[in-house]
């Protein structure tokens, strides 16, 4: 058990809010095929993520990782700011 790999999911999304202290809201977009008609539809999810140092700003592309629950709505952490 010397490997330090975790099974935590990682997602890439855009920061849509950075108005809170140590918290950012990230919008994740994914494409889903409609079950009946087969059309590709864009679905959006907003996730609150922990940003300890306040590195991410609104409009940035960021990578977030699943973590233990930090608060009622936060269970993701900022990994890196991509752009």
In a domain, 20, yes or no: yes
In a domain, 16, yes or no: yes
Q: How many domains in the chain?
A: 1
In a domain, 62, yes or no: yes
Assign residue 56 the CATH number of its domain.
Answer: 2.40.50.140
Distance CA 27, CA 62 (A): 10
User: Per-residue pLDDT tens for 10-28?
Assistant: 999 999 999 999 999 999 9
Tell me the sheet residues that pair with 28: 45
79 close to 70: Cβ distance less than 8 angstroms: no
Domain that holds residue 67: 10-81
Segment holding 63, helix H or strand E:
strand 61-66
* Chain centre distance of CA 7: 16
In a domain, 60, yes or no: yes
pLDDT of residue 8: 85
In a domain, 3, yes or no: no
Tell me the pTM. 0.85
In a domain, 27, yes or no: yes
In a domain, 2, yes or no: no
């Amino acid at each position: 058990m010397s490997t330090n790999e975790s099974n935590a999911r990682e997602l890439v999304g855009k920061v849509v809010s950075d108005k809170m202290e140590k918290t950012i809201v990230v919008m994740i977009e994914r494409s889903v095929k409609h079950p009946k008609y087969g059309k590709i539809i864009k679905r959006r999810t907003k996730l609150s993520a922990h940003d300890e140092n306040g590195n991410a700003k609104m409009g940035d592309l960021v990578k977030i990782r699943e973590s233990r629950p930090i608060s009622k709505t936060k269970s993701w952490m900022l990994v890196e700011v991509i752009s």
